[in-house]
Amino acid sequence: MDKKGIVTAFLLAAGLLGTPNVQAQRTYEEMEQLTVNEQVTTVITASEPVRFVDISTDKVVGDQPIDNIVRLKPKEGGHEDGEVLAIVTIVTERYRTQYALLYTTRVREAVTDKEIQLQERNAYHNPAVSMSTVEMTRFARRIWNSPAKIRNVATKAHRMTMRLNNIYTVGEYFFIDFSIENRTNIRFDIDEIRVKLADKKLTKATNAQVIELVPELVLETGKTFRHGYRNVVVVRKMTFPNDKVLTIEMTEKQISGRAISLNIDYEDVLSADSFSTALLEEE
């Protein structure tokens, strides 16, 4: 299957190509139109992470430098004013948007910065996304601000204590709330936070014994703390045998850097509370 066929198959599977309903069809003249020029980078900003971008021709190049930003630019000049160079389709977690890219020879008329407006968004149910990043962040922030309910799961190392505060379930996700108390005067510069599934009795560090889990969200992005630290990580729901533990590990940047990890037994995961959306209304 060629590139065009692959894109078409994706759009059909995702429900992005309309059914044979005349009212549901649109031409480029009915779309929002953006004027572009080869000397100008057009930056499109979405309100949430972009999951898919399609540029219909090779006359325009683009990339996605960060989650919610798309950059576009014509490959070359020599086009006529008003010529349609491409249609760009942008799909986020909850909506899709299309723009017709029209060439202009006048650099000052080229769009440099475009924010996707509410009226330009077509609602879209992405089957791969059961909870948007915006919703996930709201839940995590509310949990971050809530009192600690768990008192008996903790680890001590390097005059630091790492504690489990709460575990909540929301939909298909576990929200794990933890904190660290640093009783030294040495600042902790975070290198990385890792989530793993490991054997309780680890004799040798092998790939078979440790499974790396990629968090869906890490709420706080700060990279340093002196005395106190708190964060919420979100992982997809899972089941694991009693001989394994869910581990959150934090390491320090320095060469002689410290590391501390928190082991969470399956029994603690099973006792996770359901987090009601009604609690969000308290904000």
Last residue of one domain, picked from the residues 96, 128, 160:
128
Q: How far apart are CA 198 and CA 192, in angstroms?
A: 18
Q: What is the pLDDT confidence band of residue 12, given thresholds at 50, 70 and 90?
A: very low
Question: Do both 164 and 237 map to the same domain?
Answer: yes
Q: Is residue 7 part of a domain?
A: no
Q: How far apart are CA 86 and CA 99, in angstroms?
A: 8
Q: Is residue 76 part of a domain?
A: yes
Contact indicator for 50, 70 with CB cutoff of 8 Å: yes
Question: Do both 161 and 36 map to the same domain?
Answer: no
Question: Do both 55 and 86 map to the same domain?
Answer: yes
Question: Do both 144 and 261 map to the same domain?
Answer: yes
Q: Is residue 168 part of a domain?
A: yes
Contact indicator for 249, 210 with CB cutoff of 8 Å: no
Q: How far apart are CA 227 and CA 214, in angstroms?
A: 27
| 50: CATH | 2.60.40
Tokens of 31: 């779309």
Q: Is residue 57 part of a domain?
A: yes
> What average pLDDT does range 29-49 have in this prediction?
92
Q: What is the largest CA-CA distance in the chain?
A: 70
Residue 146, classified by CB atoms within 10 Å of its CB into exposed (0-12), middle (13-18) or buried (19+), is middle
Q: Is residue 109 part of a domain?
A: yes
Question: Do both 142 and 254 map to the same domain?
Answer: yes
Question: Do both 235 and 151 map to the same domain?
Answer: yes
CA distances from 212 to 17, 38, 233, 266, 278 (A): 37, 43, 14, 17, 33
Helix (H, G, I), strand (E, B) or coil at 11: helix
Q: How far apart are CA 141 and CA 175, in angstroms?
A: 10
Question: Do both 163 and 252 map to the same domain?
Answer: yes
> Is this structure's pTM higher than 0.85?
no
Question: Do both 264 and 227 map to the same domain?
Answer: yes
Last residue of one domain, picked from the residues 128, 163, 186:
128
- Res. 188: pLDDT tops 90: yes
Domain around 175: 135-275
Predicted local distance difference test score (pLDDT) of residue 182: 94
Q: Is residue 13 part of a domain?
A: no
Q: How far apart are CA 281 and CA 283, in angstroms?
A: 5
Q: What is the pLDDT of residues 205-254, one digit of tens each?
A: 555 578 888 898 999 988 999 999 999 999 988 877 777 889 999 999 87
Question: Do both 43 and 77 map to the same domain?
Answer: yes
Q: Is residue 15 part of a domain?
A: no
Q: Is residue 37 part of a domain?
A: yes
Q: What is the pLDDT of residues 159-186, one digit of tens each?
A: 999 999 999 988 888 999 999 999 998 8
Last residue of one domain, picked from the residues 128, 155, 181:
128
Q: How many domains does the chain have?
A: 2
Q: How far apart are CA 87 and CA 92, in angstroms?
A: 16
Residue type (1 letter), 192: E
Q: How many Å is the Cα radius of gyration of the chain?
A: 24
Contact indicator for 150, 166 with CB cutoff of 8 Å: yes
Question: Do both 51 and 97 map to the same domain?
Answer: yes
Helix (H, G, I), strand (E, B) or coil at 170: strand
